[in-house]
């Protein structure tokens, strides 16, 4: 009798957990349409080989650097751990997580995240965290950067956050129920459409150009995490024309890099030597690079990375095979987007009602 009761209880619990898990999977956004940024973080876990270089940051890294080109032309294995409006604290905890499983030779951090320490939109947090595996790093990252009305439990059980999607389910939710499609190339978000730089808003002067104390603190923590493991820590500013990167900000980063003997590459100053043509190399009027801009920037960065300790791995047959497959996917997506753009003048997937 007692055994029967126990079995019933067990069945009830298992059944509930299974149903809830399935429901949660169904209701979570799949990020396979217009917005794909929610898939960036978790794709890293599917990697089978290690990386010599890890890029950290927001759109200024994941749209501007092509790891495929870095491997093809320099033999550098790399991965971009970036997501939309990824805060510096989130980059730190992603680095912490990454270093638990591999030790790269160089870590490149995009300093644009210094300008804003706190999250402004909960959606970005969800896109960064929902793809992250559970660990103390994730827990601490959420605690540090969650907005006021966000709860830890809603990250533990995302169903509590997305429950009201029950009447907004789309075909994608069923199609990608079991497995989502691959959307990045080692964290790189490819766009092969072109929208030249047009009118840029005037640069507004700020009352205060100092960075948040906490941002400095996390920059220090990233630096010491790298130096503990003998990893080169490189700072980079992407060559975007907007939003503005103020000289006053740049000076602070230059001073910091000097003080700690770090390499700081401000690509805005090197736009000409990189060879960026803003009528061809951007897909959104100067905010972000398209694939052509990203490839140029990657070629520019390659030598810096080799100098920082990355090694040419093209001779490694195993790695070469892995990367050859990545290359195929990269080329086919690029060809397909180019064709679509030539035919329609836009990319269907990313077409918004304008």
Partner 1 sequence: MFLVSYEFMLFLLLLTAVYYLAPKRFQWILLLAASYLFYLCGGPVYVVYPLVTTFTTWFLARKIGTVTADARRHIKEMKLGREEKKAYNQTVRKRKKPLLLLGLFLNFGILAVLKYMNFVLQNTNGLLRFFRVPMEFYAVGWLLPLGISYYTFQSMGYLIDVYNGKYEPEQNPARFALFVSFFPQLVAGPISRFDQMKEELFAAHPFDFRQVKLGAERMLWGYFKKLVIADRLGPAVSVIIASPAEYNGIYAFLGMVGYTVWMYADFAGGIDIVIGAAQILGVKLPENFDRPFLASSLAEFWRRWHMTLMQWLREYIFFPVSTSRLSKKISVLTGKIFGKKASQKAPVYVANIVVWLVAGIWHGASWKFVAWGMANCVVMLISAELAGAYRSWHKRFAWTDTKGYRCFTVVRTFFLFCCLEMFEYYPFTTVFAMFGNMLTSSRISQLFDGRMAALGLSASDWRLLGVSVAVMALGAVFRRFHGFREKLDQKPVWLQYAAVFGLFLVVLLTGAYGHGYDASQFIYNQF
Query: Does the protein bind partner 1 through residue 296 (CB under 8 A)?
Result: no
Report 72-91 residues binding partner 1 (CB under 8 A).
none
| 48, 164, 343, 352: which one binds partner 1 (CB under 8 A) | 164
| 3, 46, 148, 167: which one binds partner 1 (CB under 8 A) | 167
Query: Does the protein bind partner 1 through residue 151 (CB under 8 A)?
Result: yes
d(CA 282, CA 2): 69
| 35, 146, 159, 268: which one binds partner 1 (CB under 8 A) | 159
Q: Which stretch binds partner 1 (CB under 8 A): 106-114, 138-146, 155-163, 283-291?
A: 155-163
Q: Measuring CA to CA, which residue among 254, 218, 216, 210 is closest to residue 235?
A: 254
Structure tokens at 222: 């990233």
Task: Kindly give, in sequence order, each residue whose CB lies less than 8 Å from that of residue 32, ignoring residues fewer than 6 positions away.
Answer: 39, 172, 175, 176, 180, 181, 183
Helix axis angle, 136-145 relative to 122-129, nearest 10°?
A: 180
Q: Which stretch binds partner 1 (CB under 8 A): 48-56, 147-155, 201-209, 270-278?
A: 147-155
Residue 91, preceding peptide bond in cis (omega within 30° of 0): no
Query: Does the protein bind partner 1 through residue 148 (CB under 8 A)?
Result: no
Q: Least CB distance from residue 2 to partner 1, whole Å?
A: 12
Rg (CA), the chain: 22
- Specify the DSSP element, H or E, that contains 213: helix 213-228
Query: Does the protein bind partner 1 through residue 154 (CB under 8 A)?
Result: yes
CA distances from 141 to 94, 96, 132 (A): 8, 10, 10
Q: Least CB distance from residue 166 to partner 1, whole Å?
A: 4
Query: Does the protein bind partner 1 through residue 122 (CB under 8 A)?
Result: yes
Query: Does the protein bind partner 1 through residue 121 (CB under 8 A)?
Result: no
Dihedral sign from CA coordinates of 105, 85, 222, 297: positive
Query: Does the protein bind partner 1 through residue 19 (CB under 8 A)?
Result: yes
Binding site for partner 1 (CB under 8 A): 8, 12, 15-16, 19, 23, 122, 149, 151, 153-154, 159-161, 163-164, 166-167
């Amino acid at each position: 009798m007692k055994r029967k009761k126990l079995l019933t209880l067990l069945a009830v619990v298992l059944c509930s957990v299974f149903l809830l898990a399935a429901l949660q999977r169904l209701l979570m956004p799949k990020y396979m349409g217009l917005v794909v940024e929610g898939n960036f973080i978790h794709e890293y876990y599917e990697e089978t080989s290690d990386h010599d270089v890890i890029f950290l940051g927001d759109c200024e890294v994941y749209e501007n650097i092509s790891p495929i080109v870095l491997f093809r032309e320099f033999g550098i294995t790399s991965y971009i751990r970036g997501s939309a409006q990824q805060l510096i604290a989130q980059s730190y905890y992603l680095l912490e997580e990454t270093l638990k499983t591999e030790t790269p030779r160089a870590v490149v951090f995009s300093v644009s995240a210094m300008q804003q320490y706190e999250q402004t939109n909960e959606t970005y947090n969800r896109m960064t965290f929902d793809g992250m595996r559970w660990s103390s790093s994730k827990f601490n990252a959420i605690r540090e950067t969650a907005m006021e009305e966000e709860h830890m439990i809603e990250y533990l059980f995302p169903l509590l956050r997305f429950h009201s999607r029950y009447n907004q389910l789309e075909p994608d939710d069923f199609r990608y129920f079991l497995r989502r499609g691959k959307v990045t190339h080692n964290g790189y978000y490819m766009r092969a459409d072109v929208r030249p730089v047009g009118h840029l808003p005037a640069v507004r002067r700020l009352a205060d150009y100092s960075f948040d104390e906490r941002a400095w603190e996390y920059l220090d923590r990233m630096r010491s995490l790298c130096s503990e493991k003998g990893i080169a820590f490189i700072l980079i500013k992407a060559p975007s024309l907007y939003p503005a990167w103020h000289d006053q900000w740049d000076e602070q980063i230059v001073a910091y890099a000097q003080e700690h003997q770090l390499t700081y590459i401000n690509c805005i100053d090197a736009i000409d030597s990189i060879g960026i043509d803003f009528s061809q190399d951007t897909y959104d009027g100067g905010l972000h690079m398209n694939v052509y801009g990203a490839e140029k920037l990657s070629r520019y960065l390659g030598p810096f990375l080799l100098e920082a300790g990355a090694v040419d791995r093209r001779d490694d047959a195993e790695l070469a095979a892995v990367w050859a497959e990545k290359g195929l996917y990269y080329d086919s997506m690029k060809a397909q987007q180019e064709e679509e753009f030539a035919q329609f003048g836009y990319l269907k997937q990313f077409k918004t009602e304008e």
